[in-house]
Amino acid sequence: MEPLVLPPELCRRLRDAERVVAFTGAGVSQESGLATFRGRDDALWQRFRPEELATPQAFERHPRRVWQWYASRFGTASAVEPNPAHHALVRFADLFPSFLLVTQNVDGLHQRAGSRGVVELHGTLRHARCHACDRRMEMRDAVERSPEEPPACACGGLFRPAVVWFGEPLPLAALERATTAAAGADLLLAVGTSATVFPAAGLIELAHRGGAAVIEVNPQPTAFSGLADLRVTAPAGVGLPALEAEVRRCRRAPS
Ligand code: OAD
């Protein structure tokens, strides 16, 4: 990537920024070896139909198929490691008085890298929950017990992955924390997301309207690139460490 040098005005805003939100998507885990959903031939929604795998109706009609797909994704996610982008975001938390990491990812890699207080807008693959009564269990235990079909719950329901499917509401507490933080942010970092799935994608515009500087880290443009104050056109594992170095330089600069 080109050497990254922030314009003085943005540098000043980063120096003074107190409340920062990082908003991440599948692109952050791409360099760990996990497929994104869109944009490439190997992307998940190029190879699979979301309406057959990622809706409550799909699970009710074909529970085995849906369970096996998520069990396989859980196995893949458990077998890979966090990459330099995840690690850079752990360090970003120390650069500002207030920092919130909001992710659409369900792979748990931010937490495995060491990020704390992560807001998971689309749930998590690390847990299963009963489709009927919401009882939860570790996905690891659920898959071990029943790799081929969803385990049965004591209530008579079936366990499913604790992710958000199309047509389902986002977890209310997570959405409220994310929207409050975005609306009051001085800086929003949008990393590795196509920003096409709402309401999550709306966080970028919300932050922008609230006066936040917006920095996008993504090798490809997105629908929100136009409102970014800076685009870092690089894979997150390269772009985030470069941005971190610039933020540190700006925050050392005299007032
Ligand atoms: P997408 O697959 O839609 O977008 C991934 C983005 O990451 C694209 O804009 C890529 O250009 C970018 N990208 C690829 N490699 C990258 C890298 N190494 N570094 C940085 N960026 C990179 O993924 P999301 O935006 O996360 O929801 O998708 C949003 C939601 O759609 C997901 O949470 C999931 C999906 O359907 C549900 O399942 C509910």
Looking at residue 107, its pLDDT comes to 98
Q: Which of 30, 49, 73 to mutate to test the pocket of ligand 1 (most atoms within 8 A of CB)?
A: 30
Per residue in 181-192, pLDDT tens? 999 999 999 999
Q: Are residues 62 and 28 in the same domain?
A: no
Q: Are residues 255 and 177 in the same domain?
A: yes
Q: Are residues 131 and 146 in the same domain?
A: yes
Per residue in 113-135, pLDDT tens? 999 999 999 999 999 999 999 99
Q: Are residues 93 and 197 in the same domain?
A: yes
Q: Are residues 69 and 158 in the same domain?
A: yes
Looking at residue 255, its pLDDT comes to 67
Looking at residue 182, its pLDDT comes to 98
Global pTM value = 0.97
Q: Are residues 109 and 141 in the same domain?
A: no
Looking at residue 253, its pLDDT comes to 79
| C-alpha to C-alpha distances, 44 to 39, 41, 70, 90, 224, nearest whole angstrom | 9, 9, 12, 27, 22
Ligand 1 centroid from CA 6, angstroms: 25
Ligand 1 centroid from CA 160, angstroms: 23
Residue 55: which CATH number? 3.30.1600.10
Residues with pLDDT less than 70, the chain: 255
Q: In sequence order, what are the residues at sequence separation of 6 or more whose Cβ sits closer than 8 angstroms to the Cβ of residue 247?
A: 14, 92, 95
Is 122 one of the annotated active-site residues of the chain?
yes
* 129 closest CA partner among 98, 99, 151: 151
Q: Are residues 158 and 241 in the same domain?
A: no
Domain total of the chain: 2
Atom nearest to 235 CA in ligand 1: 19
Q: Are residues 11 and 88 in the same domain?
A: yes
- Give the residue from 163, 192, 215 where a domain finishes: 163
Ligand 1 centroid from CA 181, angstroms: 21
Say if ligand 1 is within 6 A of residue 27 CB: yes
Cα 172 to chain centroid distance, Å, stands at: 17
Domain of 73, in residue numbers: 38-79+123-163
